[in-house]
């Protein structure tokens, strides 16, 4: 049986196809050459031509609904004509994918940082706990200050500790996994499915919402090894859903805690990110403490490693 959000996504995809077919029919009647809609991974598209003039019209489905885009030279007369026809004939409205009633959401933190672990967190959400979140400022961790992340994370752990699963891959283990898997996405797939799997031992949910980081087929291949019945929504900006936003907050808090603890141990501030400042601090650690200490703090596959 399909989940509610899968049904919604299917309807949105079908509506995107209907919209692009309607645009095609109108343009054909006006004498323009328009090919049949072609389905891509995240959109349908048609090519529109009139002699040497060519444009592309795309109907995206997913993310937050449907988004229609006319591609080409915005300053050309042909673009202005086609744009005017589409706007005069159609009043497209976006159709949102609503949050499922229950699901496990997951997100990660630390993949862009030379220092520190990769943290993947999963959270089991359902509408029963929605009222218990009303006093918290739940949003994408990237929109919150570090202090807010610490405060909100503390309250979440206090109330919902049984709904949280955290996979913290410290630098030494991360480097071992990278040597084995050869790429970051494979590590992320392994960690997301592991975090989700831990919660599925306690929560009989079939809906999974993951912030998109790779091709859907790749993560389905891994999920299929462990799960027989699940509905997956792999989408960009998945933090618009409470469960994924909470997962992002918990993951970020765990990352910040690692940086605070290690900075205190070394008596110097370890910076986030992968900037020139990061290179300078890493070089200083290498000179002061040696390669063995540095190797416990960094991810080897970053370009920063070659720079130091």
In this structure, is residue 192 part of a structural domain?
yes
Q: How confident is the model at residue 68 (pLDDT cuts 50, 70, 90)?
A: confident
Pair (48, 143) in one structural domain:
no
Domain assignment present for residue 236? The answer is yes
**Domain contains 215:** yes
- Do 18 and 147 have their domain in common? no
Say whether both 185 and 261 belong to one domain: yes
* 172 and 109 within one domain: yes
Same domain, 130 and 14: no
168 and 217, same domain (yes or no): yes
Residues 56, 107 within the same domain: no
149 with 194, same domain? yes
Task: Say yes or no: 68 and 107 in one domain.
Answer: no
pLDDT at 96: 60
Q: Which of 177-181, 269-273, 286-290, 304-308 has the lowest mean pLDDT?
A: 304-308
On whether residue 214 sits in a domain, the answer given is yes
Residue 222 lies inside a defined structural domain of this protein: yes
Exposure string over 177-200, b if 16+ CB within 10 A, otherwise e: bbeeeeebebbbbbbbbbbbbbbb
Q: Which of 30, 64, 89 is the last residue of a domain?
A: 89
Mean pLDDT, range 269-281, rounded to an integer: 94
Mind listing the pLDDT tens digit for each residue in 76-103?
A: 899 999 999 998 888 765 456 678 899 9
Q: Say what the pLDDT of residue 226 is.
A: 87
Do 110 and 245 lie in one domain? The reply is yes
Structure token pair of residue 29: 């009647």
Domain assignment present for 250: yes
Q: What is the dihedral of CA 293, 295, 296, 301, to 10 degrees?
A: 160
Determine, yes or no, domain membership for 292: no
* Helical (H) or strand (E) element with 296: none
Q: Which residues constitute the domain of residue 157?
A: 102-268
Is residue 264 over pLDDT 90? yes
> Could you give the 3-state DSSP secondary structure of residue 35?
coil
Q: What is the CATH number of the domain that holds 177?
A: 3.30.420.10
Which residues make up each annotated binding site for a divalent metal cation?
Answer: 107-108, 211
Query: Average pLDDT of 178-206?
Result: 95
Mean pLDDT confidence for 188-200 = 96
**Nearest one of 223, 252, 163, 158 to 199, comparing CA atoms:** 163
> Tens digit of pLDDT for each residue in 43-66?
899 999 998 899 999 888 864 568
The DSSP secondary structure of 180-220, one letter per residue, reads HH-SHHHHHHHHHHHHHHHHHTT----EEEEE--S-HHHHH
Q: Provide mean pLDDT across the span 158-169.
A: 97
Binding site membership: which residues? 107-108, 211
With tokens 């392994």, the residue in question is: 190
Residues 280, 285: Cα–Cα separation, whole Å: 9
Q: Are residues 155 and 251 in the same domain?
A: yes
CA-CA distance, 54 to 79, in Å (whole number)?
A: 9
Last residue of a domain, one of 35, 62, 89: 89
In a shared domain, residues 114 and 81: no
Domain count, the chain: 2
Tens of pLDDT, residues 14-34: 888 999 999 999 999 999 999
Query: Given pLDDT bands bounded at 50, 70 and 90, which one contains residue 36?
Result: very high
Q: Which of 60, 89, 118 is the last residue of a domain?
A: 89
Q: Is residue 306 part of a domain?
A: no
């Amino acid at each position: 049986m399909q989940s509610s959000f899968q049904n919604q996504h299917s309807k949105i995809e079908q509506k995107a196809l209907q919209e692009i077919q309607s645009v095609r029919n109108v343009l054909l009647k006006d004498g323009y050459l328009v090919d049949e809609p072609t389905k891509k991974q995240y959109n349908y598209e048609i090519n529109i031509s009139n002699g040497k003039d060519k444009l592309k019209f795309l109907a995206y489905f997913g993310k937050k609904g449907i988004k229609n885009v006319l591609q080409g030279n915005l300053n050309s007369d042909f673009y202005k004509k086609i744009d005017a026809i589409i706007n005069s004939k159609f009043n497209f409205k976006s159709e949102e994918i609503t949050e499922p009633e229950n699901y496990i959401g997951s997100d990660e933190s630390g993949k862009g940082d030379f220092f520190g672990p990769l943290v993947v967190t999963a959270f089991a959400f359902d509408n029963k706990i929605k009222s218990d979140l009303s006093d918290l400022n739940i949003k994408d961790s990237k929109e919150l200050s570090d202090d807010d992340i610490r405060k909100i994370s503390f309250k979440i752990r206090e109330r919902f500790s049984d709904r949280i699963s955290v996979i913290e891959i410290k630098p030494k283990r991360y480097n071992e996994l990278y040597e084995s898997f050869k790429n970051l996405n494979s590590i992320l797939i392994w960690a997301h499915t592991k975090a989700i799997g831990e919660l599925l031992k306690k929560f009989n949910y079939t809906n999974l919402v993951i912030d998109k980081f790779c091709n859907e087929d790749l993560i389905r291949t891994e999920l299929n090894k462990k799960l027989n019945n699940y509905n997956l929504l792999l989408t960009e900006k998945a933090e618009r859903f409470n469960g994924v936003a909470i997962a992002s907050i918990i993951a970020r808090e765990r990352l910040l805690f690692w940086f605070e603890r290690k900075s205190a141990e070394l008596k110097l501030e370890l910076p986030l990110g992968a900037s020139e400042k990061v290179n300078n601090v890493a070089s200083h650690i290498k000179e002061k403490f040696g390669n063995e200490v540095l190797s416990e703090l960094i991810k080897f596959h970053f370009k920063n490693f070659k720079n130091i």
